[in-house]
Chains A and B, each alone.
Chain A
Amino acid sequence: MEFLLENILNLVGFLVGLIIGTMSLVGFRNTGSPTLFRLTIAFFSISVGFFVIWSGYMLEDFVIQSGSIERWIQTLGIGIQTVGYFFIAFSHSIKSFFPKSRYFRSVGVFPLFLVSSVQLEHIFRSVSFILLAYGAIETMLSYFENKNKGAISVAVGLALLAFGEFLGWYSFVFPESILDHVSTIIKIGGLILLFIPVSKVPLTKIKFDDNFDDLK
């Protein structure tokens, strides 16, 4: 059961990250926007992170067959994902600091309370939680400014990923409990919510004519 859920999560994460990362890359190549460049790095990192963990599970399942995934592979994958979450949060911090914002400073004190373990995986999960929570809050705030419904889906998606990371981190306290499965299912839901608004962005090339009113 754990392997099945983890495989679904990692494959969904890999695909969602790859698709959004590719769309961001196309956007960056067409517009040269630094924001889209940061999103490209973010989602490609998230995609690679999920792929590394999925590879670890496949390796364990078909080659090593020890009963549990190699810890360093899991840590590496989570670490790469954390880099991706950092770039999402970083994009928001640039937007918020210029003009300045108080939110980042208030969220920035959280690591002092959360990073208490010496294990890298715990630290990565804690940092991921903070970055995802920050990204979710900033995205929700942008919804209140722009009323873009897609932002709600992304904000809830990031919030679910944050909650999933939190439960995943908490399952270290209660290993082999249902918390781990719940965490995985919540994260799958979060990834799907991230993808929904992005899937509606039309990327097909439209022929130019004299009527550009639909672009206004």
Chain B
Amino acid sequence: MKKVIAMIALLIIFAFLAGAIVEMRGEDGGFGNPVNTDMDEYFLGDSQPHNQVNNVVTAVLFDYRGLDTLGEATILFSAVSGVLTVLRKIKAPKEVEK
């Protein structure tokens, strides 16, 4: 019974995805023709005179959207802390008493 419900949910999500890609076809706003590009045009033009950086992706990553990268570095740090905590050496009670 659970499997049937899960299969129906999966088919509904699949139908939704198929309808979404049919909606996203076409010349304007489809693949290869994004419409709202004002922010990206500003980044492309502003990266060299303002930041003196040739690689626009790096300029976006470390200057314009630096807070995102700060959160990303924090996530990496906390994930490594979690791995170290989960995989720590668990001592048997006898070894603790020594």
A, B from the same assembly: no
